[in-house]
Amino acid sequence: MRLGYLTHVAGADPARAYRDTVALAVAAEESGFSTFWVAQHHDGHLDGLLPSPLVLLAAVAQATSTIRLGTAVVTAACEDPRRLAEDAAVLDALSGGRLELGVGAGADEAASEAFGRDHARRHADCAAAVDALRGHLARIVPAAPGLDGRLWQATGTPGGIADAGARGLGLITGRADAAPHLARYWARAAGEPRVAAVRAVAPGERPEALRERWRADPVREWATELVVQTQPAHAPLATHLATVRALTAGRADPDRPAPVAPLLRALQGGSASRPGRLRLIGS
């Protein structure tokens, strides 16, 4: 199981927030994290300062060499699919194929309005944008080999989870109540199932406390990745770094999917246990 870190790139000064994000990514790589994710926000929504995540990740790509670079997420319903495909392909080439492109329908109604989109249609528009994006990835220059298999959908609803599986997309979810629907995702996913569970960590929270919460988390047995984010999002760099350095990625079989035993038990009607393979300090 992989361990990732997510930042909403918040703060009072955008330039400083961007520089701090690059430094945070370098620290995450040095600490053994597998992935580093940034969130997109328009017009300072939820204190986020990053409307163009692929631009910032290009800077991160030049400062790192191994950590995978993710968007959690780009609001696909507000993007031009060809422009998104081309920007993503350039970043993927710069990073040596390290991009994990997460998309979502978006919850910011003001952003939908600013981009001339109907917020009520955002889910349908997101699905259409993903289809168009994939079409462009198949023929644009530069080529982005394998990026189609590194697309992720942020959702926690039963319909969204089912749609992500049918489309062969990885699943990003911050909702514990998504667990009952993940057996179907695993059973019907077109391609290798990928489930990233996003969980918040309070400043100063001990690794042991996070480990205990994760052990009891209903999504744990279905997850292939735990993505940690420090709250509040606008916490200073030192607080984010303290979280990064307090955790360590369990590197045993980091890229293998979660055990299939829970899936088999669920399909057979039995109860599921929580084997989990992520190892945190002290586990």
Q: Is pTM beyond 0.75 here?
A: yes
Region 102-123: mean pLDDT is 95
Higher-scoring residue by pLDDT: 33, 268:
33
pLDDT band at 282 (very low <50, low <70, confident <90, very high): very low
Instruction: Answer for the pair 166, 127: CB distance below 8 angstroms, yes or no.
Output: no
249 pLDDT more than 70: no
* Nearest residue to 204 via CA among 166, 173, 235: 235
**CA angle in degrees (0–180, nearest 5) for 246-156-106:** 90
Domains of the chain from N-terminus onward? 2-267 (3.20.20.30)
Counting every residue written for the chain, the total comes to 283
Question: Is the preceding omega at residue 180 within 30 degrees of 0, hence cis?
Answer: no
Token digits of residue 57: 């990740």
User: pLDDT, tens digit, for every residue of 135-162?
Assistant: 999 999 999 999 999 999 999 999 999 9
**Pairing of β 2-7 and β 35-38:** parallel
Question: Residue 280 and residue 273: Cα distance in Å, rounded?
Answer: 19
pLDDT band at 262 (very low <50, low <70, confident <90, very high): low
Phi-psi group of 277: left, alpha or beta (phi > 0 → left; psi -120 to 50 → alpha; rest → beta): alpha
**33-42, 261-270, 272-281: which is most confident:** 33-42
Instruction: Answer for the pair 92, 144: CB distance below 8 angstroms, yes or no.
Output: yes
Output the pLDDT for position 279: 44
Q: What percent of the chain has pLDDT over 70?
A: 88
Question: Residue 77 and residue 88: Cα distance in Å, rounded?
Answer: 16
Instruction: Answer for the pair 6, 72: CB distance below 8 angstroms, yes or no.
Output: yes
What is the SS3 assignment for 238?
Answer: helix
User: pLDDT, tens digit, for every residue of 12-69?
Assistant: 999 999 999 999 999 999 999 999 999 999 999 989 999 999 999 999 999 999 999 9
Instruction: Answer for the pair 43, 111: CB distance below 8 angstroms, yes or no.
Output: yes
* Nearest residue to 109 via CA among 120, 100, 101, 94: 120
